[in-house]
């Protein structure tokens, strides 16, 4: 494999999903979401920072009016395993009551952080609440709100296309396992 200058001195063990694979699947998800929400107010809630690339590309493929807002919550820090403690740093600033809310997530691991956030969003009184995840590791039972999934993810630590390790690698246009 040719060295990727975006990695610096680190190496990719293997590319799991290439840039063309991701682009194709995100376009398909956009069509699915457009069909699933023919009317009503649709709000995409991106979980920062990991979802930012996925959310941006996905929104461009949804052919209907929508609004975008964000949640910032984390449970990882610098490790590769969740601490189990969810901390919320920013919540949506727009009203969610009576609207279709689609949470856009980069990856579902254990689902604990997502479950915590879905409970919080449910309390805002949305018309509907669903999740679109780029990757699902299938480590446990998926939340009932998981309606759209880009890819099944292998049980390895992944980076790229928003996924990071200690804030590195988010900018890679593919999803990979790193050494």
Assess contact for 58 and 104: CB atoms under 8 A. yes
Task: For residue 158, name the pLDDT band (cuts at 50, 70, 90).
Answer: very high
Write the DSSP assignment of 18-75 as a string of letters: -HHHHHHHHHHHHHHHHHH--SS-EEEEEEETTTHHHHHHHHHH--S--EEEEEEEES
Phi, psi for residue 43 in degrees, rounded to 5: -125, 125
The model carries a pTM of 0.87
Please write the tens of the pLDDT for every residue from 60-106: 999 999 999 999 886 655 555 555 677 776 678 889 999 999 999 99
Three-state SS at 137:
coil
CATH entry, 25-75+87-154, from 3.40.50.2020, 3.40.50.300, 3.40.50.720, 3.40.30.10: 3.40.50.2020
Q: Which residues, 6+ apart, have CB-to-CB distance to 35 below 8 Å?
A: none
Give residue 80's pLDDT.
Answer: 52
Helix (H) or strand (E) holding 164: none
| Residue 57 annotated in active site | no
Please write the tens of the pLDDT for every residue from 3-43: 676 666 666 789 999 999 999 999 999 999 999 999 989 99
- Tokens matching residue 153: 């993810």
Assess contact for 92 and 46: CB atoms under 8 A. no
Question: Domain map of the chain by residue range?
Answer: 25-75+87-154
**Active-site choice (41, 57, 106, 109):** 109
């Amino acid at each position: 494999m040719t060295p990727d200058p975006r990695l610096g001195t680190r190496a990719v063990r293997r590319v799991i999903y290439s840039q063309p694979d991701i682009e194709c699947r995100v376009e398909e998800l956009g069509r699915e979401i457009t069909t699933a929400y023919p009317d009503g107010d649709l709000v995409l809630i991106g979980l920062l920072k990991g979802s930012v690339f996925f959310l941006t590309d996905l929104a461009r493929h949804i052919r209907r009016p929508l609004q975008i807002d964000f949640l910032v919550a984390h449970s990882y820090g610098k490790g590769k395993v969740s601490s189990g403690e969810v901390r919320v740093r920013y919540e949506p600033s727009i009203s969610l009551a009576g609207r279709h809310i689609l949470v856009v997530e980069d990856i579902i691991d254990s689902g604990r952080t997502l479950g915590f956030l879905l409970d919080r969003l449910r309390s805002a009184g949305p018309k509907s609440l669903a999740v679109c995840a780029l990757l699902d590791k299938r480590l446990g039972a998926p939340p009932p709100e998981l309606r759209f999934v880009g890819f099944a993810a292998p049980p390895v630590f992944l980076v790229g296309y928003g996924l990071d390790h200690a804030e590195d690698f988010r900018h890679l246009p593919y999803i990979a396992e790193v050494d």
